[in-house]
Amino acid sequence: MSDGEVRYVRDGKVVTVIFDRPAARNAMTWQMYEQLAQACARMQGEDELRVAVFRGAGGKAFIAGTDIAQFKSFRSAEDGLAYERKMETYLTAIEALPVPTLAVIEGFAIGGGLAIASACDLRIATPSSQFGVPIARTLGNCLSMQNYARLVAALGASRAKRMLLLAENLSAGDALAAGFLTEIVEAPDIERRVDELTARLSQHAPITMRVSKEAIRRLIHAGLPEGEDLERACYASKDFRIGMQAFIEKRAPQWTGT
């Protein structure tokens, strides 16, 4: 299967970043993550840019997580810690963009896809979209402290626990009720609504928007406690190796708690 690509399209004052690997529901590979970082760096240097849109190709998924093949080389907790640090550089690059960011979600926003959507400022989704981090029943790994903070800020502590502990996906309606989504848009109307929102954002004061979103970013991440001990506990566990192998073999893992 293709490693996919992240495409960069500029139209006037709007850049659209497209996660293009529809055969795998746009699951992210290292190549795609690096291209995402390059796209964010490129936007930092763009003149007269006003809005950045992030969306998946194919209409079936935003991003269905990180491709599990990316974890096969992990041998120790340090590999997991390095992965989480690297992920944080990608997500911070989105949060640090000086223009409003809009995630357009059609279908699944799971795992790393939910994290990328959470790093955006505004999110719209089609009614059939689903949101989740099912790691408690799949891989047996965990999130970084920064990603836990993003989820709690976006969903509230109770819904974040429901999503993580029950390993269940939230519907678009649940995500809207939690405040995670800006609005739900019927699939035939999605392009029109994207155009309306980007046009509206393009007319607003750029510095005010940049300062406002940066202020909120600082508040969300201010004073976060150290979390590497928690990440190490998961990535060094026997259960993580069991979960990864079971996922690859498409069978239910038998957790040991060790």
pLDDT in tens, 92-138: 999 999 999 999 999 999 999 999 999 999 999 999 999 999 999 99
Cβ atoms 52, 9 nearer than 8 A: no
Q: What's the rounded Cα separation, in Å, for the pair 129 and 186?
A: 11
Q: What's the rounded Cα separation, in Å, for the pair 40 and 59?
A: 23
Q: What's the rounded Cα separation, in Å, for the pair 48 and 109?
A: 30
**pLDDT at 1 > cutoff 80:** no
**Structural domains in the chain plus CATH codes:** 5-188 (3.90.226.10)
Check residues 74 and 64 and name the one with the higher pLDDT: 64
Q: How confident is the model at residue 69 (pLDDT cuts 50, 70, 90)?
A: confident
Q: Dihedral of the CA atoms 184, 207, 33, 125 (nearest 10)?
A: 0
- pTM to 2 decimal places: 0.95
**pLDDT at 245 > cutoff 70:** yes
